[in-house]
A and B are shown apart, each in its own frame.
Chain A
Amino acid sequence: MATGYDYDDAPAETSSQDAGYDPNFVPDSVKSFVVHLYRHIREKNVYEIHQMYETSFQSLSERLFKETPWPSVDAVSHYVDKDHVFCLLYREMWFRHLYARSSPTLKQRIDSWDNYCSLFQVVLHGVVNMQLPNQWLWDMVDEFVYQFQSFCQYRAKMKNKTAEEIALLGQSEQTWNVYGVLNFLQALVEKSMIIQILEQEKEGLEQFTATDGYDYNGGSNVLKVLGYFSMVGLLRVHCLLGDYHTGLKCLLPIDISQSGVYTSVIGSHITTIYHYGFANLMLRRYVDAIREFNKILLYIFKTKQYHQKSPQYEQILKKNEQMYALLAICLSLCPQVKLVEETVNTQLREKYGEKMIRMQRYDDEAFAIYDELFSYACPKFITPSAPSFEEPLVNYNQDAYRLQLKLFLYEVKQQQLLSGVRTFLKVYSTISLGKLASYMEVDEPTLRTILMTYKHKTHAVDSEGKISSNADLDFYINDDMIHVVDSKPVKRYGDYFLRQIMKFEGVINDMDRVKLVD
């Protein structure tokens, strides 16, 4: 088993509450922060909210709360009229900051779950009349799923738990319960009517994407945009559970061939494509995976300099590396190099060129590399069910990962003879079965099975049952003669022109708007 796979191995329960931390002490800068943030939220000043959320919160955290949590919500609530929703939002950020800097205690995990429940209940009941930046709304969904995943990992490590922790776990069945998590995300999708909104938008009856989800008519964007991002959240949760088909189904309402609200936040863009690509890889739809990995890797390559100061920068780089590893796997199983842009290809060769050559050999060393890349780049799979609290207590945090890895390697083994047959097909336009069989040192019936495996594995089935070829090199057999066809992927000029037309239209619109302001 690969060793590169780290499972949230933060030192368990190091006290996050340093001796020096006084939850009731509120420095002036924090007072001013919450007062201003509260005012901007009330005034629906999205621009200022965004500034404070992205910049001030980070710099204050960096300056004052590097080692300790922020002041408790009770200590700041009287600066903000004890506003219920604001306090929920503050606590959400409080926990997020805590999770990012230290390992939360079980009690804190439970409290954070309760806070999400209250927050989402308020949103679902439609009493939130705010306009929040997409970045913030995305972070909420993202963090909600992350904390769920983190809780499952934590719970699965039963060996080192104290008796108190086990007792508390046993009492909090509902905490981060998988049904609860999925139902919240699903409820946000449904209540927001986001699927209908996106449908209506296609017919020009509604605007959502054009305004990046914001409501410029005095309404609130919170439920709608949370609903939208929850579809990505569902994709991610289902991938963590190994349910790739259902995950992709949850994402269907979002057309990922176009940019949209999901591309308005880099974190959401990357999470969407990473999981979309990974799910397609597991479904053997390599071409779909390669296409989207290629697009986003190119995008990250071109834009990463703008994110250098962003708190997500490290995460961007990590996902970037992981997606190169996944791309290396896809291209080793399905050598459609022509689908990959030159820039991306150069990066890929630099990182994995040598490994990819070895992966073609399909010997033990090659399998070890498949294992290594998969383990490095896969999502942090979880076991969603509660542990047995009876002795002996065992760790099962790696079970889900081991199963996905095993099944993936099984698939790779089923394809191990295909690269050999490709090598021969590449150099012939026609060859008889007998001749090829003798070159490959197998008998004719075996060769026929290899050729059928090639056909089966290179033809993907989409969710509607439609078959499409993933093969760069194809063939057909006539009696006992093989005819080879080099099928070149056709460049999609149509799509390109469509996108450019829309882009220019956007530029023209922007210029018109600038004129009006003057």
Chain B
Amino acid sequence: MGRERETQKPQQVSYTVEQMVAVNPYNPDILPELENYVNEQVSSQTYSLDANLCLLRHYQFEPERMSTQIVARILVKALMAMPAPDFSLCLFLIPERVQMEEQFKTLIVLSHYLETGRFRQFWDEAAKSRHIVEAVPGFEQAIQAYAVHVLSLSYQKVPRPVLAEAINIEGLSLDKFLEHHEANSGWILEKSHGRGQLIVMPSNEFNHPELKKNAADNIPLEHITRIFPILG
């Protein structure tokens, strides 16, 4: 037995955490690796929903092994993945009594503001809970990206103050932000009739619904290949 284990070890090291999750998702022994991996995601600004759900699942199976600090990090990372529903996906797996803890209540409130487009309240609340969100690098940028996403679904042209409020940037920093997006994301700045700046968002099928029509009745090639034998 002992020898077998020794020979297996070097092999296991060569697996990445992602691979372990894919190959052996129901193995309680990988819990420490998964926890380390959460910290690694925080420090390297990467993200793996599958690995994090896998860890929450292990906590659900063995509640006595749960680390609330790790759960909090997973939830912050999930907020940063908006508009994807990851935050809810995580909450579905976290027992209610844990969700009652103060830090989780705060995160749930933050999520609620983001889900309902209330960015002003969100930034105010986030400012009060710096200790939670500042522990995770890239948090602000990720939320700003989400805000820009929702704005670009909704607006063809968005007034500067509306944008400023949503991304919580003003004045000179905002000018820089806009400049950057003008150069890289195809934003156009426009003067509206005497009422300040308008930003023209790049067109997509959601803010220019007429762009959508052609894409609707596409049949994927792999479906067509199924009738090749019949046609031939």
Contacts and interface: CB of A to CB of B under 8 A. Distances in A.
A205 interface: no
Contacts of A406: 96
B115 A476 contact: no
Contacts of A216: none
Contacts of B27: 179
B206 A449 contact: no
A45 interface: no
Interface in B23-69: 25-28, 49-50, 53-54, 57, 60-63
Contact of A485 (B89, B150, B209): B209
A343 interface: no
B156 interface: yes
Contacts of B213: 490
Interface string A491-518: 1111100100110010000000000000
Nearest to A285: B85
A45 to B, nearest CB: 31
Interface stretch (A295-303, A363-371, A397-405): A397-405
A182 interface: yes
Contact of A452 (B62, B150, B209): B150
Contacts, number: 155
B219 A498 contact: yes
A451 B205 CA distance: 17
A461 B60 contact: no
Contact of B217 (A179, A403, A494): A494
B185 to A, nearest CB: 16
Interface string A361-392: 00000000000000000000000110000000
A492 B206 CA distance: 21
Contacts of A490: 213, 216-217
B115 A414 contact: yes
A10 interface: no
B103 interface: no
Contacts of B158: 477, 479
Contacts of B176: none
Nearest to B229: A204
Contact of B117 (A448, A478, A502): A448
Nearest to A184: B26
A469 B206 contact: yes
A384 B60 contact: yes
B217 A505 contact: no
A495 B150 contact: no
Nearest to A179: B26
Interface in B149-165: 150-151, 153-159, 162, 165
Contacts of B230: 501-502, 505
B92 A244 contact: yes
Interface in A418-459: 445, 448-453, 455-457, 459
A104 interface: no
Interface in A266-288: 282-284
B26 to A, nearest CB: 4
Interface in B203-232: 205-210, 212-213, 216-219, 222-227, 229-230
Interface string B159-175: 10010010000000000
B154 A477 contact: yes
A178 B63 CA distance: 13
Contacts of A451: 117, 154
A414 B53 contact: no
B229 A456 contact: no
A407 B88 contact: yes
B88 A456 contact: no
B150 A479 contact: no
B133 interface: no
A485 B165 CA distance: 27
A505 B162 CA distance: 58
Contacts of B63: 385
Contacts of A493: 217
Contact of A474 (B88, B115, B209, B225): B209
A63 interface: no
A487 B157 contact: no
Given A244-B92, A403-B95, A385 B117 contact: no
Given A241-B93, A385-B62, A476-B156, A411 B84 contact: no
A186 B53 contact: no
Contacts of B229: 204
B92 A242 contact: yes
A465 interface: yes
Interface string B85-116: 10011011101100000000000000010011
A404 B117 CA distance: 23
Contacts of A284: 85
B49 to A, nearest CB: 7
A282 B92 contact: yes
A205 to B, nearest CB: 13
Contacts of B208: 476
Nearest to B203: A476
B141 interface: no
Given A186-B25, A414-B112, A245 B219 contact: no
Contacts of A456: 83, 115, 117, 150, 153
Contacts of B96: 399, 402-403, 406
Interface of B: 25-28, 49-50, 53-54, 57, 60-63, 83-85, 88-89, 91-93, 95-96, 112, 115-120, 150-151, 153-159, 162, 165, 192, 198, 205-210, 212-213, 216-219, 222-227, 229-230
Interface of A: 178-179, 182-183, 186, 202, 204, 241-246, 249, 282-284, 384-385, 399, 402-404, 406-407, 411, 414, 445, 448-453, 455-457, 459, 461, 465, 467, 469, 474, 476-480, 485, 487, 490-495, 498, 501-502, 505
The 8 A-B pairs with the shortest beta carbon distances in the complex, nearest first, are A452-B117, A490-B216, A242-B92, A494-B219, A449-B117, A182-B26, A485-B209, A455-B153
Given A453-B116, A476-B154, A501-B227, 7 more contacts: A179-B61, A182-B26, A243-B93, A246-B53, A414-B112, A485-B210, A494-B217
8 contacts: A182-B26, A243-B57, A245-B49, A456-B153, A474-B209, A476-B155, A480-B159, A494-B219
